[in-house]
Amino acid sequence: MTADPDRSVNPKLALLALAVGGFAIGTTEFAAMSLLPQFSAGLGIDEPTAGHVISAYALGVVVGAPTIAVLAARIERRKLLIALMVVFGIANGLSAMAPTYHWMLAFRFLSGLPHGAFFGVGALVAASLVPHEERSRAVSRMMLGLTTATILGVPLANGIGQWIGWRWGFGLVAVLAGATIAMLLRFAPVLRPADGANRNSIAIVAPARTATRP
């Protein structure tokens, strides 16, 4: 990886941007399970059928990480992170407006595609922000967003879903994605893949847990 020397970067704010993205992804991953009764009723389907919506997201995760690793190996990392979050935000916004069950399946699959790749690329970017001996800590700080999502994001999305409607729960995630995009534009470093970069590096560093959720 080669960073742009002309761009001044604050590592703490760049890591915060990555953590906010992880928070958004973790929130939509887990909140969908807690909102299942609400959106099954809203879409006029039973809960077992609605469970396929969660499976569609998981399928998107499994398909997205290796596919993006191959297709995006040469893309500048900041641009790639922003593109992934744009897809994620749009897909969650569409999930909030899904008119039917089948559209919901498609939008949740689309939402899952950027999941693993975001964490993979984010880990590479996080590691580039600090000296070699601090890289593990930097990646851990990025992953705090995912951990925080289970503590704060899921209850918040679930509460919003129960109080004013499940669609607003997915809308919240779309807003978080928008905030992440703005922060990445402002704080993330320009990081170009080095010559001969391994196209599998994105998939290798993506957390294994992203492909194991039901």
| Residue 121 CB contacts under 8 Å (≥ 6 apart), including other chains | 77, 80, 81, 84, 202
Q: What is the pLDDT of residues 65-91, one digit of tens each?
A: 999 988 988 899 999 999 999 999 999
Tell me what pLDDT residue 161 has: 84
Q: Which SS3 state, helix, strand or coil, does residue 2 take?
A: strand
Residue 195 scores a pLDDT above 50: no
Total domains in the chain come to: 1
- Domain contains 71: yes
Distance CA 1, CA 179 (A): 26
Q: What is the pTM of this model?
A: 0.85
**Dihedral sign, Cα of residue 85, residue 86, residue 91, residue 94:** positive
55: in domain: yes
Distance in angstroms (rounded) separating the CA atoms of residues 10 and 27: 26
CATH code: domain of residue 48? 1.20.1250.20
Q: Alpha-carbon distance 88 to 95, whole Å?
A: 10
pLDDT, one tens digit per residue, over 144-182 is 999 999 899 888 888 888 888 899 989 999 999 999 999
Q: Token match 């800590």: residue?
A: 137
Residue 203, domain member (yes or no): no
In angstroms, the CA 82 to CA 21 distance is 10
Ranking 46-50, 54-58, 114-118, 205-209 by mean pLDDT, the lowest is 205-209
User: pLDDT tens digits for 88-101?
Assistant: 999 999 999 999 99
Q: Where are the alpha helices (DSSP H) in the chain?
A: 11-34, 36-43, 47-71, 77-96, 101-128, 135-148, 154-164, 166-187, 201-205
Domain limits at 96? 9-191
